[in-house]
Amino acid sequence: MSEIVFDAVNHAFGSRRVLRDIDLRITERRVGIIGANGSGKSTLARMINGLLTPASGTVTVDGLDVARKGGRVRRKVGFVFTDPDTQIVMPTVAEDLAFSLRRSGSGKAEIAARVAEILDRFGLAGHADHPSHLLSGGQKQLLALGAVLIRRPEVIVADEPTTLLDLRNARRIAQALDSVDQQVIVVTHQLSLLDSFERVIVIDDGAVAFDGDPAAAVPAYRELIG
């Protein structure tokens, strides 16, 4: 597993301070991040692959500083957004997956094989030539996850990947995330998703309010929000 380290991290948007003195070392295979809306959890998650860089302090992934080595970090860490429409860029499902490999140096045959593998894995083989934006919400999120996985990162960070989905599709995404070999860090409000996780970090008002296994962290979060 990769080692992700937050060292004295602070961040603000204008005058609003969103992260306060965050110190974390993450090495577990399955880690959840929970907190109320506006607590800073999504800001923290986006720092793991350099989508945001801290105002002060450092975030490193296997020793790579995200502020200085963002390109190398993003090859290691894939990011899945809440809204898959923000990630889907090509007209058809297969084209969107192939687009993720445009700078990989892979040949056409290898790209085709990897696209076919992802299509089959996530039940999208019958939709290869379908318009991407006409997929169901659950299928779009599977495509967004597939477009990250096809690059074979070492870590996947998913920011509330089930929030826009109904219960059935949320379960499909949870199962898909559970099935991957990569280290997975998930920001979520779906607390049942965390049952099998090794560690859950509770963020409140920009700081770490609790850090432990789900059995302890989830009740601590519920008590926190009253």
Q: Taking 80 as the threshold, does the pLDDT of residue 226 lie above it?
A: no
Q: Tell the residue number behind the tokens 């967004």, with chain if given.
A: 144
Q: Is 16 helix (H, G, I), strand (E, B) or coil?
A: strand
Structural domain boundaries, residue 175: 4-225
The structure's pTM equals 0.94
The tens digit of pLDDT for each residue in 125-183 reads 999 999 999 999 999 999 999 999 999 999 999 999 999 999 888 999 999 999 999 99
Give the pLDDT confidence score for residue 77 in this predicted structure: 98
**Closest residue by Cα to residue 58 from 108, 111, 11, 109:** 11
Rounded CA separation 201/211 (Å):
5
Q: Is 1 helix (H, G, I), strand (E, B) or coil?
A: coil
Query: How confident is the prediction for the chain on average, in pLDDT?
Result: 95
Residues paired with residue 61 on neighbouring β-strands, in sequence order: 4, 64
The tens digit of pLDDT for each residue in 74-114 reads 999 999 999 999 999 999 999 999 999 998 888 999 999 99
Domains identified in the chain, total number: 1
CATH number, residue 107: 3.40.50.300
Q: What is the total residue count of the chain?
A: 226
Give the pLDDT confidence score for residue 105 in this predicted structure: 82
DSSP string, 105-142: ---HHHHHHHHHHHHHHTT-GGGTTSBGGGS-HHHHHH
The tens digit of pLDDT for each residue in 5-22 reads 999 999 999 999 999 999
DSSP state of 92: B
The tens digit of pLDDT for each residue in 32-91 reads 999 999 999 999 999 999 999 999 999 999 999 999 999 999 999 999 999 999 999 999
